[in-house]
């Protein structure tokens, strides 16, 4: 079971990077405090992983056939890549990192499922674009009704706070259901553990990442791209949750980071492009391009290093 520590490491890094997106907008808009939000997100991540995580695990394990040794290398390579990006406060895709590492192992095995890989890559493009479109639509529709409801400042604050709590819970559930495949899917493919065990271990490790190291990326998402007031934060949170849930229904693990950035961009489109910090977006897009490349390279390096043997003189 020590081999699963690589998956636990990956789950922690995913929670630290991706899950901050779930609660980042609510906390950054000062509608929720960090610890209640983190505890709420941790609970629903585990629930989502256990109840609805099977479809994504089945898709990911079908990309290639890995041995136990290679499954461990894949999870460690993906975790190292995401951790580096987290330290740099960049919201990257754990899905891209895992698939990049699987690609490295597939190159060594000369065995890749290109049809499954193509499906995943198409969803990488569709995730931020879809989230941006959903955010624009939600902003227009919800804004139409919200502006016509007579209420005091206190009631407005109370409604937005309740909406953010519900949307963050929904988003956390969708994250656990969709992204648990990234954490422990390779171990199911290697025949080490069952789908249910993978969902439990993956969900708990993601929750641990949320509680311990999610603040740096949260600052980038919630404050540095475009300033979010509570209503915009609610729209982004809902757009994120709906986007990830849609991909969960088709069994493709996608990135909550890409979804939340898409949602934030949607708000930027509504409010005017000049409200978006283009320099921050460029850094994030470059990180998305390099993430699978770096993960693939790290996986190959670890694999070669693990084959080295000491020969006494």
pLDDT score, position 209: 87
Q: Tell me the average confidence (pLDDT) per consecutive run of 10 residues in the chain, 313 residues long.
A: 78 79 76 86 92 79 71 86 80 80 83 69 84 94 85 77 89 87 79 86 90 74 66 88 86 79 86 74 80 90 81 65
Helix axes 34-52, 20-28, angle to 10 degrees: 150
pLDDT given at position 152: 73
Q: Measured between alpha carbons, how far is 8 from 4 in angstroms, rounded to an integer?
A: 6
Contact between residue 172 and residue 238 where contact means Cβ atoms under 8 Å apart: no
Global pTM value: 0.79
d(CA 115, CA 247): 17
Tokens 């089945």 sit on residue: 58
Question: pLDDT at position 130, please?
Answer: 92
The residue assigned the tokens 């636990």 is 8
Distances (CA, A) of 257 to 10, 15, 89, 148, 278: 16, 11, 12, 33, 17
CA angle 168, 154, 225 (to 5 degrees): 45
Which residue, 31, 30, 250, 211, is CA-closest to 122? 250
Return the pLDDT at 285: 81
- For residue 3, what is the DSSP state? G
According to the model, what pLDDT value does residue 205 have? 92
Please state, in angstroms and rounded to a whole number, the distance separating the CA atoms of residues 26 and 37: 8
Can you give the pLDDT at residue 132?
93
Residue 131 CA to residue 271 CA, distance in Å, equals 16
- Cα distances (Å, whole numbers) of residue 63 to 79, 100, 117, 190, 222: 19, 11, 7, 12, 34
């Amino acid at each position: 079971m020590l081999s699963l520590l690589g998956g636990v490491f990956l789950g922690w890094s995913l929670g630290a990077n991706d899950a901050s997106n779930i609660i980042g907008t609510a906390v950054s808009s000062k509608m929720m405090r960090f610890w209640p939000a983190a505890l709420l997100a941790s609970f629903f991540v585990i629930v989502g992983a256990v109840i609805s995580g099977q479809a994504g695990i089945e898709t990911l394990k079908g990309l290639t056939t890995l041995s136990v040794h290679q499954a461990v290398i894949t999870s460690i390579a993906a975790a190292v890549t995401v951790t580096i990006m987290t330290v740099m406060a960049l919201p990257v895709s754990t899905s891209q990192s895992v698939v990049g590492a699987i690609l490295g192992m597939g190159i060594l095995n000369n065995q890749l499922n290109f049809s499954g890989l193509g499906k995943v890559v198409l969803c990488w493009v569709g995730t931020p674009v879809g989230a941006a479109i959903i955010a624009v639509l939600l902003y227009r529709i919800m804004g139409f009704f919200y502006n016509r409801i007579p209420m005091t400042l206190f009631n407005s604050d109370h409604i937005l706070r309740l909406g953010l709590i519900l949307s963050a819970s929904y988003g956390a559930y969708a994250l656990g259901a969709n992204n648990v495949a990234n954490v422990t899917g390779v171990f199911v493919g290697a025949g080490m553990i069952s789908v249910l065990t993978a969902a439990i271990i993956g969900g708990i490790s993601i929750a641990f990442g949320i509680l311990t190291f999610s603040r740096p990326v949260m600052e980038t998402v919630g404050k540095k791209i475009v300033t979010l007031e509570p209503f915009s934060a609610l729209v982004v949170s809902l757009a994120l949750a709906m986007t990830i849930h849609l991909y969960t229904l088709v069994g493709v693990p996608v990135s909550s980071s890409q979804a939340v950035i898409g949602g934030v961009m949607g708000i930027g489109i509504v409010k005017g492009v000049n409200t978006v910090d283009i320099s921050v977006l460029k850094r994030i897009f470059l990180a998305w391009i390099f993430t699978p490349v770096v993960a693939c390279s790290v996986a190959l390096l670890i694999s070669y290093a693990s084959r080295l043997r000491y020969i006494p003189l």
